[in-house]
Amino acid sequence: MSDHHKETFITKYIFSLDHKMIAKQFLLTGMFMALVGMLMSAIFRVQLANPGESSILYNFLPSHWINEVGALNPDKYLALVTMHGTILVFWVLTAGLSGTFANFLIPLQIGARDMASGFINMLSYWFFFAATVVLIWSIYVPSGPASGGWTIYPPLSALPQSIPGSGTGMTLWLVAITLFIVGSLLGGLNYIVTILNLRTKGMSMKRLPLTVWALFFTAILGVLSFPVLLSCGLLLIFDRSFGTSFYLSDIVINGEVLHNIGGSPILFEHLFWFLGHPEVYIILLPALGITSEIIATNSRKPIFGYKAMVGSLLAIAFLSFVVWGHHMFMTGMNPFLGSVFTFTTLLIAIPSAVKVFNFLATLWKANIRFTPAMLFAIATVSTFITGGLTGLILGDSALDINVHDTYFVVGHFHIVMGLSAIYGMLAGVYHWFPKMYGRMMNKSLGYIHFWTTFICAYGVFFPMHFLGLAGLPRRYYTNSSFPMFDGLSDINSIITFFALSGAVVQVIFLFNFFYSIFKGPKTTKNPWKSTTLEWTTPVERIHGNWPGELPEVKRWAYDYSKPGYEDDFVPQTVELKEGEKDV
Amino acid sequence: MSVNIKAIKQLLWIGIGSICMFFAGLTSAYIVRKAEGNWMSFEIPDPFIYSTVVIIISSIVLTFAKSKLKQEASPFKIILTVFILGIIFTALQVNGWKELTNQGVFLTGEGSNAAGSFLYILTLAHLVHLVGGLVALLFSSVSAVKGKYSLENSIGLDLTSTYWHFLGILWLYLFFFLKYV
Residue A168 near residue A138, CB atoms below 8 Å: yes
Residue A307 burial (10 A CB sphere; 0-12, 13-18, 19+) = exposed
Chain A: nearest CA to B120, how far in angstroms? 11
Q: Quick one: pLDDT at residue A11?
A: 81
Tell me which DSSP letter residue A155 carries: T
Average pLDDT, chain B: 93
Task: Locate the chain B residue with the closest alpha carbon to A264.
Answer: B33
Q: Quick one: pLDDT at residue A2?
A: 44
CB–CB contacts below 8 A, A to B: 113
Question: Cβ of A264 and B33 within 8 Å?
Answer: yes
Q: Chain A within 8 Å of B124 (Cβ-Cβ)?
A: no
Q: Domain of residue B164: give its range.
A: 3-180
What is the total count of domains within chain B?
1
Residue A565 burial (10 A CB sphere; 0-12, 13-18, 19+) = middle
Distance of CA B136 to the CA centre of its chain: 12
Nearest to A116 among B7, B15, B125 (CB): B7
Tell me which DSSP letter residue A534 carries: G
> Looking at the predicted structure, is the pLDDT value of residue B3 above 80?
no
Q: Chain A within 8 Å of B21 (Cβ-Cβ)?
A: yes
Q: Which chain A residues are closer than 8 Å to B33 by Cβ?
A: 246, 262-264, 267
Would you write out chain A's pLDDT as a tens digit for each of its 583 residues?
444 566 788 888 888 889 999 999 999 999 999 999 999 999 999 999 998 899 999 999 999 999 999 999 999 999 999 999 999 999 999 999 999 999 999 999 999 999 998 999 999 999 999 999 999 999 999 999 999 999 999 999 999 999 999 999 999 999 999 999 999 999 999 999 999 999 999 999 999 999 999 999 999 999 999 999 999 999 999 999 998 999 998 899 888 888 888 888 999 999 999 989 999 999 999 999 999 999 999 999 999 999 999 999 999 999 999 999 999 999 999 999 999 999 999 999 999 999 999 999 999 999 999 999 999 999 999 999 999 999 999 999 999 999 999 999 999 999 999 999 999 999 999 999 999 999 999 999 999 999 999 999 999 999 999 999 999 999 999 988 889 998 898 999 999 999 999 999 999 999 999 999 999 999 999 999 999 999 999 998 888 899 989 999 999 999 999 999 999 999 999 999 988 888 7
Q: Which chain A residues are closer than 8 Å to B21 by Cβ?
A: 223-225, 227-228
Chain B: nearest CA to A244, how far in angstroms? 5
Q: Identify the CA nearest to A504 among candidates A42, A21, A188.
A: A42
Single-letter amino acid code for the residue at A7: E
What's the half-sphere exposure (Cβ side, CA atoms, 13 Å) at A59? Answer: 3
Radius of gyration of chain A (CA): 24
Q: Identify the CA nearest to A427 among candidates A485, A381, A377.
A: A377
ipTM, two decimals, is 0.93
Q: Which chain B residues are closer than 8 Å to A273 by Cβ?
A: none
Q: Quick one: pLDDT at residue A5?
A: 60
CATH code for position B161: 1.20.120.80
* Chain A residues 78-107 with a CB less than 8 Å from chain B: none
> Looking at the predicted structure, is the pLDDT value of residue B154 above 50?
yes
> Looking at the predicted structure, is the pLDDT value of residue B86 above 80?
yes
Nearest to B36 among A227, A259, A264 (CB): A264
Q: Chain A within 8 Å of B33 (Cβ-Cβ)?
A: yes
Quick one: fold of A9-536? Cytochrome C Oxidase; Chain A (1.20.210)
Q: Quick one: pLDDT at residue A4?
A: 53
Q: Quick one: pLDDT at residue B1?
A: 57
Residue A298 near residue A359, CB atoms below 8 Å: no
Q: Which chain A residues are closer than 8 Å to B113 by Cβ?
A: 245, 261-262
Chain A: nearest CA to B64, how far in angstroms? 29
Distance of CA A393 to the CA centre of its chain: 23
- The terminus-to-terminus CA distance of chain A in angstroms comes to 34
